[in-house]
Homo-oligomer: A and B are copies of this chain.
Amino acid sequence: MDLDSFFNAQSIAIIGVSRDSNKVGHVIFRNFVDGGYQGKIFAVNPNAESILNYRSYASVSDIQENVNLAIVAVPAEAVPKVLEECGRKKIQNVIIDSAGFKEVGNYKLEKKLEDTIKRYKLRVIGPNALGVYDAYSKIDSLFLPRFRMSRPKEGVISFVCQSGAIGSSVVDLATAEGYGFAKFISYGNAVDVDESDLIEYLGNDEKTKVICLYIEAVKDGRRFLEVCKKVSKKKPIIAIKGGVTEAGAKATLSHTGSLAGSAEIYFGAFKQAGIIHAENLEDMFDFAKILEKCIPPKGGNVQIITNGGGYGILAVDAMVKNGMALSDLSKETKKELRKQLPPIINIENPLDLVGDATSARYKLCIDACMKDRNVDVLLIIVLVQTPLIATDIVDVLVEANDSKKKPIIVVSAGGEYTEVMRKNLEQNGIPTYTYPEDAVRSVQQLVKYYKNNL
């Protein structure tokens, strides 16, 4: 695969490594020096002898060894010459971080790149791009210092993002929230490698289980549709489209120099291609979390179990508003539970275990639902402000989830005590949400995706 070196190169040249630690090239070089990358690195800067104790080369031509990937951070005007040198040195994969091309009206300069790319059959990400972060190989062309933007841990979500600012801020945020990533790619002006190339590559990437996508425009609509159709059958693609209104579309033009096109056409295409459409970034990661963690449900009947009546009501309201199916427990289950639960508990949906619910009461009901063929998904609300829920609720939930019979989703809102429990659950493969509405909409996407692709 000709994109492979972007993520797995064993030998990398960083071109334009300043000695100034605030400059783009220097930040990138540092990512490799102390970020955990295991391959070989070469600094290129004609005006320095050494940088961070590494020899500095005047040009890639001076490097004797093979180089699989170049990362370019020189001023825009100097990029064509540098790219030419990469071609001659047979470095087939190049990431261009430098800005100052199409996005500022400099079409001519961008055209020069195109010609060089064709001549040497290069694969180029950028220009005007943050480039690539691979959580496994630690390839990292992001020129944002790690104290400002933390790098995510290894995971199974890959995020393709046309906008660098959205990409970096959201990855930073998601990392703080505990999400793991496989690959993050901000591809900027897409002079060569575009969203379709990347989605196709990620479709075949074993590390990637869920693909997230922020786009303002696609380069080749037909190809995008074809690629997504194929990939979305293998793994979920969740996309958000920037510039869905006229005023928003106008703004995309000066952002990435791309015409946003009619929102309706995009939404239609998303549907046709099996893409899950997220209305906003929050939804995108909510959906990614459930699709990353949950096993496929056999159907759409959801049973709600709660120890907070109000939360159960809000969850039911959200389910009905979204046209989802509330499961109706079988007669046998109801009879069985009636025998064992206190008489004040109504055996309904939501199943409100009331304020004095213990972990044992949860276990009883979860086990019953696991056996009941009328239930496909368990949405479990656990509020731990009340003293009767002990920490063994985590064991109850994880054990049920590990049985891999039905997907389990947990809703829990609160402060530090709640957060500790949630982190624990998430590390054990259970997606958790603060608000019932977010959980419900995520369950809807889970059910829908597997209904279409099983």
B-contacting residues of A (Cβ < 8 Å)? 22, 27, 99, 104-105, 144-145, 147-150, 161-166, 168-170, 172-173, 175-176, 214, 216, 242-248, 250-252, 254-256, 279-282, 307-314, 316-321, 326, 344, 346, 348-350, 352, 355, 383-387, 412-419, 434-435, 437-438
* B168 and A383 form a contact (CB under 8 A): yes
* A317 and B352 form a contact (CB under 8 A): no
Q: If the complex has contacts A166-B310, A175-B415, A346-B254, are A320 and B247 also in contact, measured as CB distance less than 8 A?
A: yes
Q: Which of A242, A309, A311, A417 has most B Cβ within 10 Å?
A: A309
- Shortest C-beta distance, A325 to chain B (Å), equals 11
Q: Which of A150, A318, A321, A413 has most B Cβ within 10 Å?
A: A413
A148: contacting residue among B173, B256, B282, B387, CB under 8 A: B387
- Interchain CA distance A319-B173 in the complex, whole Å: 23
A316: contacting residue among B105, B247, B383, B417, CB under 8 A: B247
How many identical chains are in the complex?
2
* A385 and B355 form a contact (CB under 8 A): no
Chain B residue numbers with a CB within 8 Å of A165 are 307-311, 355, 383, 385-386
Q: What is the chain B residue whose CB lies nearest that of A161?
A: B310
Chain B residue numbers with a CB within 8 Å of A161 are 310
- Interchain CA distance A416-B105 in the complex, whole Å: 36
Q: What is the chain B residue whose CB lies nearest that of A416?
A: B176
- Interchain CA distance A386-B350 in the complex, whole Å: 46
- Interchain CA distance A149-B308 in the complex, whole Å: 15
The 4 closest A-B pairs by CB, nearest first: A165-B308, A163-B310, A255-B309, A245-B320
A255: contacting residue among B173, B251, B310, CB under 8 A: B310
Q: What is the chain B residue whose CB lies nearest that of A413?
A: B169
- Shortest C-beta distance, A247 to chain B (Å), equals 5
* B172 and A387 form a contact (CB under 8 A): no
Chain B residue numbers with a CB within 8 Å of A310 are 161-166, 214, 216, 242, 255
